[in-house]
Structure 1
Amino acid sequence: MSETQNTSPYKGSGQLTREQFLFYEMRTTAKLMVEGLDDGEVTKRIVEDNLFQYPTEKSLASISKACIARLYALGDRDLMTAITTQPMDTAKQICLYAMMKRYRLVWDFMLTVIGEKYRLQEFSFGKKDINIFFMQIQEQDDFVSAWSDSTIKKIRQVLIKILVENGYLDHIKSEHLNPVLLSSVLENGIRNNNDERVLPAFNCFM
C-alpha cells in the first residue's frame, strides 16, 4: 500500500531542488550556533552580514533556516562542532550525514543504492541506478509519484553532486563509485546516535 501525501516520509524532500549540499553555508551556520547564538540570531547575522554572499535577503534567510534544521537533525553537539573544526573531508561527511538525517529521500538513496553497492562490491554507477530508485519510491509513495519530471531531474542532479562533493564520484559523469573511507569522528557520532544501520552508506561494515 502506498503512502498518502499527508503521511509520506518524503514530504519536504522536494526542497532539495533549491537547497543543494550547502557545505560552505553549513560550516558558516554551525560556527554561529557553536558560538551560542539562538536560531533567530543566527539567521539575523547571516542576513545582515550576507555571510553566504547571496543576492537577496530572502534566499539568505531561507537557506540559513535549512542549514539550522539540518544541524539540529544531527542530534549531536559534538558533530556540529566538528563541522567547524575538522578537515574539509570529515566536515563534508558530517554534512552529508546531517542531510541524510533531515531528508528521508537522501537517507534511503545513500543506504539502498550506495550502501548496497558497497555491500555487493559493485562499483559501477549511472543514471539507471538513480532512475530505478525513483521508480521504486514512486510506486510506494503517492507524494513522490506526484512530483513532476523536472523535480525528479533536479533532485537527481543534486544527489549526483552530493556524491561528487563527498568523493563517491570523481565527476558528475563518472560511472565508477569510489570506495570512500568513513571518518572516525563521524563513525563515533553515528554509533552514539544508534544509527549503525546507515554505516554501509559510508562503506563501513564493521
Structure 2
Amino acid sequence: MLKINTSSPYTASMTREQFLFYEVRTTAKLMTEGLSDEEVVQRIIDDNLFQYPTEKSLKRIAQNCIRRLKCMDDETLVKAIATQPTDVAKQICLYAMMKQYRLVWDFMITVIGEKYRLRDTSFGRIDLNTFFLRLQEQDEVVASWSDTTITKLKQILARVLVENEYLDSTKATKLNPVWLNSTLENAIKDNGDDAALAAFNYFS
C-alpha cells in the first residue's frame, strides 16, 4: 500500500470553508471588541450571526474564521477587515486566505502574480488545470485527491478571483488590473511576505 506523505503543506479542507468574506468580517468585528476566541464563537452561535441552519456549522466556520484571521498575526489588519471599505477588507481577507492555505498562496503567486509580472492578462481553465497538474506531480497528497475534490478547488479559486474583482465572472477570460491597498502593502512587507506582493499586481 502506498504510504502518503503526511507532511504535505497542502490541504483540501478549503472545499468546506471557501472565501467567507461576510463571516470573516463579522468575526473580525467581534475580535476588535476585545472578546476572547470562545466569546466570539458563542456570540456568533447565540445570535446566529452567519444565518446558518445548524449550531454545528456555525461553530465550525466561526472557529475557522478566527484561525484565518490569526494566520496574519497582525491586529491592525484584523481591525482593517472590520472597519475598512469592502474592497480594502476583501483584499486583506484574500491575504489571510493565502496565509491559511498554501494552495491559495501558491496559486496567487505562481499563476496570478506571474501573469501580472509578464503583463499577460489572459486567464482560462487551462491555467487552473496546469496549476493542479503541476501540484499533483510534485506532491503525493495532492496526487491522492479525487477528481471531484480537484474540480471543487478549481471552482473555489475561480470564485475567489471573482469576489476580489480579478475576474468579472467565472467564465471571464481576461484578468483585470488590481491595485494593492497601502495598509496591506505595508503589512506584507513588515511580515517579510514580499513574495505575496506579486499576487496583488505590485512590483517594486
**Counterpart selection for 1:34 from 26, 32, 35:** 32
| Contact 1:29–1:64 (Cα < 8 Å) also in 2 | yes
- Shift of residue 20, structure 1, vs aligned partner: 1.3
- Residue type matched to 2:20 in 1? L
Q: Hey, what does 1:187 align to over in structure 2?
A: 185
Q: Hey, what does 1:44 align to over in structure 2?
A: 42
Q: Hey, what does 2:109 align to over in structure 1?
A: 111
Counterpart mapping for 1:123-202 below 5 A: 123-202=121-200
Q: Hey, what does 1:8 align to over in structure 2?
A: 8
| Contact 1:4–1:141 (Cα < 8 Å) also in 2 | no
Q: Unaligned regions of 5+ residues in structure 2, if any?
A: none
Task: Tell me the percent identity.
Answer: 62
Q: Give the Cα separation in 1 of the matches to 2:139 and 2:45.
A: 37
- Shift of residue 5, structure 1, vs aligned partner: 2.8
- Residue type matched to 1:27 in 2? R
Q: Give the secondary-structure state (helix, strand or coil) at the position aligned to 1:132.
A: helix
- Shift of residue 16, structure 1, vs aligned partner: 1.1
> 4+ residue runs of structure 1 moved beyond 3 angstroms?
none
RMSD: 1.0
Deviation per CA, 1:68-117, whole angstroms, max 9, x where unpaired?
Answer: 01000011110000001111000000000000000000000000000000
Q: Does 1:102 align with 2:136?
A: no
Q: Does 1:75 align with 2:73?
A: yes
Q: Give the Cα separation in 1 of the matches to 2:107 and 2:187.
A: 20
Q: Hey, what does 1:88 align to over in structure 2?
A: 86
Please, what TM-score do these two structures have when normalized by structure 1? 0.96
Q: Give the Cα separation in 1 of the matches to 2:37 and 2:143.
A: 34
Q: Unaligned regions of 5+ residues in structure 1, if any?
A: none
Query: Which protein, 1 or 2, shows the higher relative CO under an 8 Å CA cutoff with sep ≥ 6?
Result: 1
Q: Give the secondary-structure state (helix, strand or coil) at the position aligned to 2:130.
A: helix
- Residue type matched to 2:59 in 1? A
Q: Give the secondary-structure state (helix, strand or coil) at the position aligned to 2:187.
A: helix
Q: Give the secondary-structure state (helix, strand or coil) at the position aligned to 2:12.
A: helix
